[in-house]
C-alpha cells in the first residue's frame, strides 16, 4: 500500500488569482476552487453562482482579484425550512411550473420556491455587478441545485466548475 498526498485547498496555497479580502483565510475551499475553475474558462471580470446547500456568489474583478460576494441559504435548505415551519404547507415535488402564477397550493409553492429562487439569483447578481462597479461580467452558474432552476441565457452553466478548480489547485501545488 502506498501513501497518496492529500491537498487541502485553502487561501494559503499557491493560486493564479488574488484574494482582495480582509480575511482571506475565511474563504471556503469550494469558493476558492470555483474561482480557480472559472478563470480557466473565461476572462475576468466574473460573477460565479454556486447553487448548493448555500447559494454563494463570487465576484472576480478585471485583474483576477476575488473581491467578495454574497451567501444566501440554498434552494433546498430554504425549502426544507419552509416545510418544517409552516404548519399548513405540505411537501410537493419541486417541479418548475410554466407560469409564475399558481392556482393551487402545490403550484404556488412550486412557483414560489423555484421561480422565486431564479429571481433571487438574477436580481442579486445584478446588484453585485452594479455595486462592484463592473460594466459587464461573465456569469457562471454551478452547483447541485442549478439542475432545478432555469436561469437566463446570460448565465453559463458549468456543472463541473468546482472539480475543474480543484484540478487547477493540484496543478499549481504539485510537489
CATH number of domain containing 32: 3.30.420.40
Strand order from edge to edge, sheet including 155-157: 18-19, 65-73, 54-60, 46-51, 138-142, 155-157
**Residue 11 domain flag:** no
**Residue 7 domain flag:** no
pLDDT for 5: 80
**Residue 5 domain flag:** no
**Residue 32 domain flag:** yes
Give the closest residue to 14 by CA, choosing from 1, 2, 32.
32
Question: What residues make up the domain containing 109?
Answer: 18-166
| Average pLDDT for runs of 10 along the chain of length 175 | 86 96 96 98 98 96 97 92 76 84 89 94 98 96 92 97 97 88
Angle between helices 161-172 and 29-41 (to 10 degrees): 90
pLDDT for 97: 84
pTM attached to this predicted model: 0.92
For 95, other C-beta atoms within 10 Å of its C-beta total 10
Structurally, the chain folds into a number of domains equal to 1
pLDDT for 4: 77
Q: How far apart are CA 80 and CA 37, in angstroms?
A: 30
Catalytic residues: 30
Amino acid at each position: 500500500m502506498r501513501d497518496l498526498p492529500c491537498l487541502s485547498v485553502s487561501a494559503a496555497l499557491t493560486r493564479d488569482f488574488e484574494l482582495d479580502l480582509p480575511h482571506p483565510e475565511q474563504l471556503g475551499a469550494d469558493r476558492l476552487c470555483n474561482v480557480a475553475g472559472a478563470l480557466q474558462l473565461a476572462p475576468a471580470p466574473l460573477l460565479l453562482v454556486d447553487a448548493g446547500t448555500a447559494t454563494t456568489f463570487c465576484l472576480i474583478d478585471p485583474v483576477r482579484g476575488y473581491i467578495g460576494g454574497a451567501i444566501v441559504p440554498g434552494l433546498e435548505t430554504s425549502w426544507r425550512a419552509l416545510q418544517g415551519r409552516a404548519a399548513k404547507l405540505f411537501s410537493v415535488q419541486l417541479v418548475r411550473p410554466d407560469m409564475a402564477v399558481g392556482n393551487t397550493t402545490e403550484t404556488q409553492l412550486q412557483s414560489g420556491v423555484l421561480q422565486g429562487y431564479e429571481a433571487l439569483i438574477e436580481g442579486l447578481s445584478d446588484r453585485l455587478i452594479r455595486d462592484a462597479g463592473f460594466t459587464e461580467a461573465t456569469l457562471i452558474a454551478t452547483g447541485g441545485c442549478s439542475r432545478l432552476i432555469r436561469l437566463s441565457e446570460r448565465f453559463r452553466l458549468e456543472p463541473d466548475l468546482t472539480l475543474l478548480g480543484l484540478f487547477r489547485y493540484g496543478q499549481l501545488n504539485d510537489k
